[in-house]
Amino acid sequence: MTRYHGRMDPRTTRFAPSPSGLLHLGNARTALFSLLAALPDGQFLLRIEDSDRARVSPAFEEALRADLRWLGFAPYMDEAAALRQSQRAAIYDDYLRRLQAQAVVYPCFCTEAELGAERAQLRAQGLPPRYLGRCAGIDARIAQERIAQGETPVWRFRVPAGQEITFHDVVRGPQHVATALLGDFVVRRAQGDAMFFFANALDDALSGVTLVLRGEDHLANTPRQILILRALGLAVPDYGHLPLVLSEAGTPLSKRDGAFSLASLRDEGFLPLAVVNYLARLGAVVGSDRLLPLTELARLFDCRRIGHAPARYDREQLLHWQRLAMAETPLAEWIPLVAHRVPAADRLRFVTATRPNALFPGDYRRWADILYGAPESPDAAARTALAAVGPGFFRAASAHLDAGGAAGDLPAVLKEAGYGGKGLFHALRAALTGRVTGPELKDVLTLMPRALTVQRLARIRDEGC
């Protein structure tokens, strides 16, 4: 048994998704931890587990590859080298023949009805269902004859009796499973295809994976995979099983419903660095509260600092990392988002003024549209602010502009006219932008094209809100 001693050896890890839906935050965290465990000197492999033809689709595969690239994995993975299970049936057959040659597997002809009755009987006795070995003793010659006559058995692994399988889970600690609990398990279906966990264990061993990090829903597969690999004389990787990620409501995330998918976060405008920093701390301790690049997160990553309890998605936390990631992005990167509206000379000043109000990149675009295109229709707070000052306010404002006065002087002029305090600022903002919050009023007044300022104030003067 190998033991995990922190970050001493370069690791070969992998992420092995089934393209049967969009990657959600839980899947992404598994991918991230696997990458972090491999960096800086190890290898991170991508493997596409697409053998369940009925559930997988090329579109989901393309989507998950795009998600990983978006997260920033591209420099650390060789996408073209990704294995695809659907193309490896001959390899699985070959290893099954090796097990057949050793009689470590045997054909099982039990019908569904027989198996169902056996399960029911065990349950009635309060025992967990498992195969009791009815076909384990069938004479090999007789089995051959039945196959020659067209019967299509499944192939079962002969689990050694009375042993205990122990392994050190790098997340959960020592694990012990009595073989008596396993029952002889199917490695190959009657239709001829390898069971998922058989193919999965072979692929890990054959590609030299030394550490498997995956969801704890696969924990029950691990003792069976260890038995298979040992029987074949293949190296057994270290395993670590990650607790589930739950939604805010406490329900498990699903690849099928699209909620909590990376795609939906990306569409909303979350930055990959924010998502990566959030995920690195989702159910794990990083030891720094700074926004860190992947390489730094990898330096601090330690499987032993992953919690044992399910982790719950917390949007507030994600937003916290989003704020930091937005703040760290050089302002120049936002300029292309506003170039369709904002005159070249004003762009840097505009993004500087908008930064405190931009939680997502789309907010830069939105404020450019408001200040240079059309105001948003006033919300309730804006309508209240407009009503509070009354039409005289807008008459005074328009008169100042009509006389050639500068827009930037409007607060002073209106103050002189008897308006003051918050009400003045809210009413001006509401008239010009449709909102009572946003970039500093002095920036709004000096950035907005004069013709629009004149027009918006006159409209409120003439039509009210």
Q: Which residues bind ligand GLU (CB under 6 A)?
A: 16-18, 49, 200, 212, 214, 218
Q: Which is nearer to ligand GLU, 17 or 378 (CB)?
A: 17
* Beta pairing partners, 165: 177
Minimum CB separation of residue 307 from ligand GLU in Å reads 19
Q: Report in angstroms the alpha-carbon separations of 192 from 70, 187, 196.
A: 38, 10, 12
Minimum CB separation of residue 48 from ligand GLU in Å reads 9
Q: Which is nearer to ligand GLU, 88 or 426 (CB)?
A: 88
Instruction: Give me the helix-helix angle, 222-232 and 196-206, nearest 10°.
Output: 60
Minimum CB separation of residue 318 from ligand GLU in Å reads 23
Minimum CB separation of residue 214 from ligand GLU in Å reads 3
Label each residue of the chain as H, E or C.
Answer: CCCCCCCCCCCEEEECCCCCCCCEHHHHHHHHHHHHHHCCCCEEEEEECCCCCCCCCHHHHHHHHHHHHHHCCHHHCCHHHCEEHHHCHHHHHHHHHHHHHCCCEEEECCCHHHHHHHHHHHHHCCCCCCCCCCCCCCCHHHHHHHHHCCCCCEEEECCCCCCEEEEEECCCEEEEEEHHHCCCEEEECCCCCECHHHHHHHHHHHCCCCEEEEEHHHHHHHHHHHHHHHHHCCCCCEEEEECCEECCCCCECCCCCCCCEHHHHHHHCCCHHHHHHHHHCCCECCCCCCCCCHHHHHHHCCHHHECCCCEECCHHHHHHHHHHHHHHCCHHHHHHHHCCCCCHHHHHHHHHHHHHHCCCHHHHHHHHHHHHCCCCCCCHHHHHHHHHHCHHHHHHHHHHHHCCCCHHHHHHHHHHCCCCHHHHHHHHHHHHHCCCCCCCHHHHHHHCCHHHHHHHHHHHHHHCC
Minimum CB separation of residue 29 from ligand GLU in Å reads 13
Q: Which is nearer to ligand GLU, 157 or 321 (CB)?
A: 157
Q: Which is nearer to ligand GLU, 200 or 322 (CB)?
A: 200
Q: Which is nearer to ligand GLU, 16 or 318 (CB)?
A: 16
Minimum CB separation of residue 293 from ligand GLU in Å reads 25
User: Within 10 A of 372 (CB to CB), how many other CB atoms are there?
Assistant: 18
Minimum CB separation of residue 54 from ligand GLU in Å reads 15
Q: Which is nearer to ligand GLU, 214 or 461 (CB)?
A: 214
Q: Which is nearer to ligand GLU, 168 or 218 (CB)?
A: 218
Minimum CB separation of residue 82 from ligand GLU in Å reads 13
Minimum CB separation of residue 268 from ligand GLU in Å reads 24
Q: Are 258 and 265 in contact (CB under 8 A)?
A: no
* Beta pairing partners, 241: 214
| Residue whose beta carbon is closest to ligand GLU | 214
Q: Which is nearer to ligand GLU, 109 or 196 (CB)?
A: 196
Q: Which is nearer to ligand GLU, 76 or 393 (CB)?
A: 76
Q: Which is nearer to ligand GLU, 13 or 322 (CB)?
A: 13
Minimum CB separation of residue 176 from ligand GLU in Å reads 21
Q: Which is nearer to ligand GLU, 212 or 274 (CB)?
A: 212
Minimum CB separation of residue 213 from ligand GLU in Å reads 8
